[in-house]
């Protein structure tokens, strides 16, 4: 497949490396001389120019590309590049760096194929690695929804319940279940919850603390911090690194 990546900063260049390693054809667009030189040193094809201009994207091959990733630190550049790519029928992926607010997400999500927030994804991965233990954030589905995997502990109030007896808050649902020594699968309502068993739950951020209290048994405040519920814990600060402003 052919990809055009706008922005050769840390996000764009790393994405380009992964795509190239998998055998895809990648062209980068960047206007910062230092980043252009760095990308070319790594043997990438780089178009030197402003990724929000039609003529520059056409030179990069947007007319025949399968997808365009607008991965600079400039939201306006990213959105404009995606609108140009839409005109040529490309799949569009747009990076945002601002605080993960629902208004920002809604503003752009309907006009591009996918919105990505690298700092948020990186923070989730780092948090999971640091915490280990009984709760693991898997993905943000929407600004207010997260998929998490929780492991039943001996102090969990629901220890010994069957899945059918489990009563989660209204804004949460069980997606998968796995006994401690078995892979995850479709939940069987007759299976009992025992220490070491895992539940994958889709939940609103507002109820993550209550869910952890039920399934893990820790206090609500600790649950909020560990689950990544930023409304109840310390919010992520925006990254000041432009990551390849175009």
At 221, give phi and psi (nearest 5°): -65, -40
Query: What gap in Å lies between CA 180 and CA 62, rounded to an integer?
Result: 48
Check pLDDT > 80 for residue 91: yes
| H or E element that contains 175 | strand 172-178
pLDDT digits (tens, 9 = 90+) for 186-228: 999 999 999 999 999 998 888 888 888 889 885 433 434 344 4
pLDDT for the residue 19: 93
Beta-carbon contacts of 180 under 8 Å, excluding residues fewer than 6 positions away, are 194, 195, 196, 197, 198
> Mean pLDDT of all residues in the chain?
81
Cross-strand partners of 48 = 30
Domain boundaries, the chain: 2-116, 121-227
What pTM, to 2 d.p., does this model score? Answer: 0.59
Q: Which is the CATH superfamily of the domain at 121-227?
A: Regulator of K+ conductance, C-terminal domain (3.30.70.1450)
* DSSP state at residue 92: E
Domain 2-116 in CATH 3.40.50.2000? The answer is no
CA 86 to chain centre: 22
The percentage of the chain sitting over the pLDDT mark of 70, rounded to a whole number, equals 77
Q: What is the band of 100 on the pLDDT scale with cuts at 50, 70, 90?
A: low
Q: What is the band of 15 on the pLDDT scale with cuts at 50, 70, 90?
A: very high
């Amino acid at each position: 497949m052919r990809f055009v990546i706008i922005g050769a900063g840390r996000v764009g260049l790393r994405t380009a490396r992964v795509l190239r390693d998998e055998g895809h054809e990648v062209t980068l667009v960047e206007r910062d001389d230092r980043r252009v030189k760095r990308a070319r040193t790594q043997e990438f094809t780089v178009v030197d120019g402003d990724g929000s201009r039609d003529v520059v994207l056409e030179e990069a091959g947007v007319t025949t590309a399968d997808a365009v990733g607008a991965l600079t630190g400039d939201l306006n550049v990213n959105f404009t590049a995606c609108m140009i790519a839409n005109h040529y029928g490309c799949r569009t992926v747009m990076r945002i760096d601002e605080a993960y607010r629902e208004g920002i997400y809604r503003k752009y999500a309907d006009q591009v194929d996918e919105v990505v927030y690298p700092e948020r994804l990186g923070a989730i991965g780092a948090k999971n690695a640091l915490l280990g233990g009984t709760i693991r954030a898997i993905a943000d589905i929407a600004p207010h929804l997260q998929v998490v995997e929780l492991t039943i502990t001996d102090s969990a109030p629901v220890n010994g319940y069957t899945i059918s007896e489990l009563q989660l808050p209204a804004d949460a649902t069980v997606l998968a279940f796995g006994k401690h020594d078995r892979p995850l699968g479709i939940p069987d309502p007759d299976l009992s919850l025992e220490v070491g068993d895992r539940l994958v739950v889709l939940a609103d951020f507002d109820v993550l603390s209550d869910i952890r209290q039920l399934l893990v048994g820790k206090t609500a405040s600790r649950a909020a911090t560990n689950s990544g519920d930023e409304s109840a814990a310390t919010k992520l600060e925006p990254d000041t690194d432009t990551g390849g402003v175009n």
